[in-house]
Structure 1
């Protein structure tokens, strides 16, 4: 499997595989976000999800994939720190602001900074058409945030700090996307990076989530929370794993932009599954996001 994937790097087949992986990551990321949006405290949800994927990745990291090269341990330390800071910022943003406002700001800020970072770090170049596609996609994503803001009925007192935290979180999305792309390209076997990433990344949040759970009155029942964490862990493997593989096979910036079609999938999930009202304006904004992604892909 690893040899086959590596053979696709820099090829037309690799480009198409990266496209499919990025779209799959977008859909799964929307599911992942919906899980964190649920009735549980976001810190508890994150802790349960991280614990699940750490325990699933541990035997793969220790006994299945090739052992990391010596230079990878410093890279993993950087990955761990960046992702911890991202999760803290994300948790604070979701705690202070409405999910429907905060999420589009995070997802809109992330790809813009990722494209700029990939230009500097990997010497990637977007064509004029691709930059137009980025602009159209961002117009749709930020348009969703503004639309949701206009209909917001709560959390207005903390909205300013929530939006600032959302922008900071988006910057860390860009940082971890480019740094993870650097990490997965720095090891011979991409699955070595993935297995150790999930193992290491999942160890920090569960202790904090447990202490937070212990201090709650009343405490949420652990069974349903852990079941939700298990489902979230499986989805995280597919979502984050897919986009990381896409960044090894093809351009980091394109994968990051295509992943942000997750906002379209999130709205569709809300409409079809959660029976939320979409309306013509949100449909038009979602169409802008999809159009922007298509322009980025076709303009390359």
Structure 2
């Protein structure tokens, strides 16, 4: 069971890097979030109708997750406005594993074995080093927003990890989170773009936007399910292997350089994941 859950998390990592690449490449990221909200709303509306209600203890976590997910999206959009995908994504994702580890210890009373802790540290170090520029410095005005994004990621990861466990049904939990989060998000984008005429601008971009939503929703459903079987910090760290996929996507499709530093960083991340798994 554990091996299959780990493989599920790795698939989620690939899907997560993919939809972030779509967001980065979009000329109108707020519009893309509006398009992504449509499959979220359709699937979650069906989900809340057919799945059992989450347990009463889960509702504070659902409400907190809705707020944190909204903050995450706003911070990520601002970070991508002027930042390079190969820099912003690693900063945002690399900060979260260690923060999640601390949060899971404080709020969920989870502890990892020393070898796994070393693996989490290597994952974070390797991911953040992907964002370094010359002279081992960060560059760009988007870096503070990338750091803020990482804080939001860590916060909702801990909240969702605990919430999924106390809910009695992880899928029901995430369906309610996505429904309550995406209704106001979609309405805001709808109003901002002036209704259907401004939102549905053409078949191809609309389909791409909705596909991004399907990919993102699927990825996080996998993560929520994994939280029920593995420690929160372990799931968070393994999920951040998405940065390796992000580097490859940036190299293959965005003409970003695959430098020696990035290869070394990816090796550190992979080694950290091996230590966590062992």
Under a length normalisation based on structure 2, what TM-score does the superposition of the two structures give? 0.89
CA shift, 1:219, in A, is 8.4
CA shift, 1:291, in A, is 1.1
Kept after mapping to 2: 8 A contact 1:51/1:203: no
**What stretches of structure 1 of length at least 5 have no aligned partner?**
1-12
Helix, strand or coil: the match of 1:34? helix
Helix, strand or coil: the match of 1:235? helix
Instruction: Say whether residues 1:28 and 2:15 are aligned partners.
Output: yes
**Could you give the per-residue CA deviations for residues 51-97 of structure 1, whole angstroms, max 9, x where no partner exists?**
221122212212x1113344444332222112112212222222243
Kept after mapping to 2: 8 A contact 1:54/1:201: no
Change (3 A) 1:148 1:77: farther
Measured in 2, the distance between the counterparts of 1:85 and 1:121 equals 21
Out of 89-98 and 284-293, give the one that drifted further.
Answer: 89-98
Measured in 1, the distance between the counterparts of 2:24 and 2:108 equals 34
Kept after mapping to 1: 8 A contact 2:63/2:177: no
Instruction: Say whether residues 1:67 and 2:53 are aligned partners.
Output: yes
Kept after mapping to 2: 8 A contact 1:134/1:296: yes
Change (3 A) 1:24 1:148: farther
Out of 203-212 and 42-51, give the one that drifted further.
Answer: 203-212
Partner of residue 121 from structure 1, selected from 79, 96, 107: 107
Helix, strand or coil: the match of 1:67? coil
Measured in 2, the distance between the counterparts of 1:22 and 1:98 equals 25
> For residue 10 of structure 1, what is the aligned residue in structure 2?
none
Measured in 1, the distance between the counterparts of 2:263 and 2:210 equals 32
Partner of residue 247 from structure 1, selected from 223, 227, 231: 227
Measured in 1, the distance between the counterparts of 2:273 and 2:134 equals 22
Instruction: Say whether residues 1:193 and 2:173 are aligned partners.
Output: yes
> For residue 137 of structure 1, what is the aligned residue in structure 2?
123
Measured in 1, the distance between the counterparts of 2:59 and 2:187 equals 23
**What stretches of structure 2 of length at least 5 have no aligned partner?**
none
Change (3 A) 1:20 1:102: same
Measured in 2, the distance between the counterparts of 1:200 and 1:17 equals 30
> For residue 112 of structure 1, what is the aligned residue in structure 2?
98
CA shift, 1:177, in A, is 0.4
What does 1:214-229 align with in structure 2 at a 5 Å threshold? 214=194, 221-229=201-209
Kept after mapping to 1: 8 A contact 2:190/2:199: no
Measured in 2, the distance between the counterparts of 1:148 and 1:70 equals 51
**Could you give the per-residue CA deviations for residues 171-212 of structure 1, whole angstroms, max 9, x where no partner exists?**
110110010111111122222113222222222222232344
Change (3 A) 1:150 1:54: farther
Change (3 A) 1:148 1:272: farther
Instruction: Say whether residues 1:88 and 2:74 are aligned partners.
Output: yes
Out of 245-254 and 199-208, give the one that drifted further.
Answer: 199-208
Measured in 2, the distance between the counterparts of 1:277 and 1:210 equals 37
Measured in 2, the distance between the counterparts of 1:101 and 1:281 equals 13
Change (3 A) 1:94 1:284: same
- Report the aligned-residue RMSD: 2.5
> For residue 177 of structure 1, what is the aligned residue in structure 2?
157
Kept after mapping to 2: 8 A contact 1:133/1:291: yes
